[in-house]
Amino acid sequence: MSEKHESMIEVTDLYKNFGHNQVLRGVDVSIHSGEKIAVIGPSGSGKSTFLRCLNLLEQPTAGTICFEGEEIFSVPLAEEGAKQRRPQPIPSRKLNAYRQQMGMVFQHFNLFNNLTVLENIMFAPIKLGKQAMHRAKRRQFFGKKGEVDTEEIKSVAQIEKEAKDQALSLLERIGLADKASAYPSTLSGGQRQRIAIVRALAMNPKVMLFDEPTSALDPEMVGEVLALIKELADDGMTMVIVTHEMGFAREVATRVLFMDGGKIQEEGPPEKVFGAPENARLRDFLSKVLQ
Amino acid sequence: MVVPNFICDVYLTVIRGTPVAVQLFIMYSAILAIRGFPLELTAVLTFGINSGAYVAESLRGGLQSVDIGQTEAARSLGLGEGQAMLHIVIPQAIKSVIPAIGNELIALLKETSIVCMLGITDLTYAAQIIGAGNKMATYLAPMIVAALFYLAVVYLLVLIIRFIEKKFKQSEQHIDEKKMEKSRRRMEKRLQMIDERYEKFMAQKET
């Protein structure tokens, strides 16, 4: 599974309908470890829906999603005229385990308003760490002897200490250590988005998904958020970024996907997509965006 | 989920669609018409069931008023539905629900005056008995006293509700220096506790 050539996320033939509205009409992508993919396209083209389908916040109508060779979601598309079978809900444990490996950053930050900045970051690692500990203990109790290494089970004290140290060092990294005890409502948009990114990082995800991370920000705050994302990219994080910042996409992405009408119309390295676009709609889009 | 949903729907519709006095009488004369069943308990059950429907509606409103993004953020981190609800959505919903529930509590307190229908002697009924006489004017003094009693209890409730409301307002804007200091200290204490527990754990491990 750790082979370099095998793709990390493999999406085939992804469809998503909202009622009669077809948003995604067959998206095929394979995302390799270390890739930075920028998804661009006009609004309503299904970019955000595609991203939300990737971590199953939106359940696709049909298609297959594989993560590191494991099939997470698979529903065949119904024949023409036949009724689309409603997909079975994914077992929540599998779903949660899958999502833990994917960090998601939202357009509107979505920091937990009832928690302080530091608690926002520590919350998931502590909760899920304890959950994993309880599961391990249960397995140890009920399972065969020697199946679970006793040394491997962390204590609550260890989990909390690790989460705390990590959260503080992450805050230090983005220069907001002095805001640890502040509530999100007192922070600027740029600060909130940086904290949201760091909150996702605290779970040590393998992929980061960015859903228009700078669209809700005041112009003067876009820079700080993009700088942090770029820093992550330089560290080798695999990421998928839905963005309207063409300059940023060009600079950071290793591959650019142009989506329109629920399909990927063109993909390739940024030099090719921005420099020598083949698709007519892409040319049209770029001429409008880049002036 | 179809069956529980249907049951809840019926409950809300029936309870909110009929007067408490009628519900009380139905409970008294039909459902709980068991010999020796204490009348007070009948009244308590009826008002409980009645009030539950209204509180349920306020709670639903409160839960729905929390931005869906909060749940999505929690789920995207890998937290379960229940965890997201318990630690993220409910604490935020409570804040907006407290005034409505407080209102319901006050209304409930005053509504209980109709238990005289069953012959239970409550404050209103007692005042009525005391004031009974040939002239209507004799009711005035006991009724005013009863009103003052209600007012006193309700006012106390209002104070309590206000206090609770203030308690839950913590995470609102922290413009005020004092509040910021307080939250900073709380945080520091928590972090210190984590450190202490860790040290204790390590010390224990060594021995």
Q: What is the ipTM of this complex?
A: 0.88
Q: Is A157 within 8 Å of B194 when comparing Cβ atoms?
A: yes
Q: How confident is the model at residue A3 (pLDDT cuts 50, 70, 90)?
A: very low
Cross-chain CB nearest to A106 (options B73, B172, B188): B73
Would you write out chain B's pLDDT as a tens digit for each of its 207 residues? 789 999 999 999 999 999 999 999 999 998 888 888 899 999 999 999 999 999 999 999 999 999 999 999 999 999 999 999 999 999 999 888 999 999 999 999 999 999 988 888 999 999 999 988 888 888 999 999 999 999 999 999 999 999 988 887 755 555 677 777 888 888 888 889 888 888 888 888 887
The Cα–Cα gap between B174 and A259 comes to 42
Q: CA–CA separation, B67 vs A111, rounded Å?
A: 11
pLDDT at B84: 94
Place A138 in a pLDDT band, splitting at 50, 70 and 90. Answer: confident
CA distance A150 to A143: 13
pLDDT at B35: 85
- Distance between CA atoms of residues A210 and A107, nearest Å: 8
Q: What are the two backbone dihedrals, phi and then psi, of residue B118, each rounded to the nearest 5 degrees?
A: -90, 0
Q: Rounded to 10 degrees, what is the CA torsion of B9, B14, B20, B24?
A: -110
Per-residue confidence (pLDDT) for residue A203, from 0 to 100: 93
Instruction: Work out the number of other CB atoms within 10 angstroms of the CB of residue A270.
Output: 19
pLDDT at B129 (0 to 100): 92
| Mean of pLDDT values over A108-119 | 92
Q: Is the pTM of this model over 0.95?
A: no
> Rounded to 10 degrees, what is the CA torsion of A41, A46, A49, A54?
-70
Q: Mapping DSSP to helix (H, G, I), strand (E, B) and coil, where does residue A205 land?
A: coil
How far apart CA B198 and CA B185 sit, in angstroms, is: 20
- pLDDT tens for residues A172-185? 999 999 988 888 98
CA–CA gap between residue A272 and residue A260 (Å, rounded)? 18
Q: Which of A113, A161, A182 sits opposite B92 (nearest CB)?
A: A113
Buried b (16+ CB within 10 A) or exposed e, A63-81: bbbbbbeeebbebeeeeee
Mutate to test the interface with B, among A110, A131, A155, A212 (most CBs of B within 10 A): A110
Over the stretch A54-104, which tens digit does the pLDDT of each residue have?
Answer: 999 999 999 999 999 888 998 888 777 777 777 788 888 899 999 999 999
Average pLDDT over residues A231-245: 93
Q: Each residue of A211-231: pLDDT tens digit?
A: 999 998 999 999 999 999 999
Whole-number pLDDT of residue A205:
94
Contacts for B92 with CB less than 8 Å, ≥ 6 apart: A113, A114, B66, B70
Q: Tell me the pLDDT band of A152, cut-offs 50, 70 and 90.
A: low
Q: What is the pLDDT of residue B126?
A: 92
**What is the DSSP code (8-state) at residue B30?**
I
Collect all residues of chain B within an 8 Å Cβ-Cβ radius of residue A128. 77-79
B183 with A96: Cβ contact below 8 A? no
Asked if residue A115 lies in contact with residue B170, where contact means CB atoms within 8 angstroms, the answer is no
pLDDT-based confidence at residue A7 (cuts at 50, 70, 90): confident
Amino acid making up residue A92: S
Which of B49, B57, B7 minimizes the C-alpha distance to B24? Answer: B49
Q: How far apart are CA A136 and CA A139, in angstroms?
A: 5
Given this model, what pLDDT does residue B102 score? Answer: 94
Please list, residue by residue across B53-84, b when 16 or more beta carbons sit within 10 angstroms of its beta carbon and e when fewer do: bbbeebbeebbeebeeebbbbbbbbbbbeebb
Does an H or E element contain B41, and which? helix B39-65
pLDDT at A48: 93
Between residues B178 and A144, which one has the greater pLDDT? Answer: B178
Cβ separation B198–A161 shorter than 8 A: yes
Residue A2 has what pLDDT?
Answer: 44
Contact residues, chain A, for B73 at CB < 8 Å: 104, 106, 110-112, 196
Rounded Cα–Cα distance for residues B76 and A54 (Å): 11
Distance from CA of A100 to the nearest CA of B (A): 5
Query: What pLDDT score was predicted for residue A136?
Result: 84
A155 interaction partners in chain B (CB closer than 8 Å) = 201
